[in-house]
Structure 1
């Protein structure tokens, strides 16, 4: 499978800060071309909240990156600033190859990309989701009625983001007491539930 390129042309871009969200004139989000140079947050393997991972016959990896300015702000405050851009790319896996004898490694090109953007002047509730599964074309906002919004609101550790899955950021949020009540409730219920 060929690697998907997520680059936008200069004609499509409305001028904004170099790592913040960029939109076309009609409000579609332009996929950040350089997100792999941003701050890496974590990887997941077959995370069950991703429908593509659940449907795949082989394990799927997701890799999460955030724009550097927002990472620095979060590290200082435990909160995401306006214009935060979080990118989740999905890649396939392989178990046999070269000298590998056990486990899985990431293989092939990007099979999908989702972007979570904080732009309080543009989006009701401050945050919006975009999916670039169909390639590099600028993406329309995923409708607010979709499950990703309610799931993130009900379970995210900090400001509708799944900081609980980012091991370098969770301690920062704990230190700054910015963990959401919903996440603390989920955690308390998990700790109190019988072992499975």
Structure 2
């Protein structure tokens, strides 16, 4: 490229890089869960551009619970746009639904206002997927992309195997979730749609306390 202008050679280099890229990013409006040949879920990188459902404080448990004396953590939930659009029509979460739940610590020394809490960096990422053919026992499976506990500096996992069916999250969702094994009762707008559509489980009891569960 000795006689090629710099801007042209730069553009050509970019084309070569694009041609060598093995995968094309899926359209977030229509994308569903992506699995590898071992049945592991590929981490959804763009979940923060999905439909935001809710942020709560104090809903963490197990290894993600803050230590005694520390402020409760923020948990934020996002759902893929295609699933949310279908839910808005029917009040039910369809196959292909992906919930992404991230955990961020509550920081107290950032704001100039006393008592204010702001979100810190992401410390945990968990995902729920609905696929009734892949997971016939309840239709859902749960995944954690958290760094390995024995190597927390390794960064978030790129793929994750589903939790075993003996994990406590399955029985907890089955017992306490208001709509199709999902805690839609925590998402005000979505819960309103479910009540309007009549898809809230008949035995749902808002006063029933959720016991501590682990993965």
Match of 1:104 among 108, 117, 126: 117
Cα 1:181–1:89 change in 2 (3 A) is same
Structure 2 unpaired stretches of 5+: 1-20, 148-155, 210-215
Distance of 1:95 and 1:76 partners within structure 2: 40
Q: Computing the radius of gyration over CA atoms, which structure comes out larger, 1 or 2?
A: 2
Higher relative contact order (CA 8 A, sep 6+): 1
Counterpart check, 1:127 vs 2:146? no
Q: 1:82 to 1:148 in 2, by over 3 A?
A: same
Q: CA deviation at 1:189?
A: 5.8
- Residue 32 (structure 1) aligned to one of 41, 44, 47: 44
What is the total number of aligned residue pairs between the two structures?
176
Q: TM-score, structure 2 length as denominator?
A: 0.75
How far, CA to CA, are the matches of 1:12 and 1:181 in structure 2? 44
In structure 1, C-alpha distance between the alignment counterparts of 2:159 and 2:115, rounded to whole Å:
39
In the other structure, the counterpart of 1:54 is 65
What is the RMSD computed on CA atoms of the aligned residues? 2.3
Cα gap change, 1:189/1:28 in structure 2, threshold over 3 Å: closer, same or farther? closer
**Separation in 2 of the partners of 1:16 and 1:96?**
39
Can you give the 5+ residue segments of structure 1 that lack an aligned partner in the other structure?
1-9, 191-196
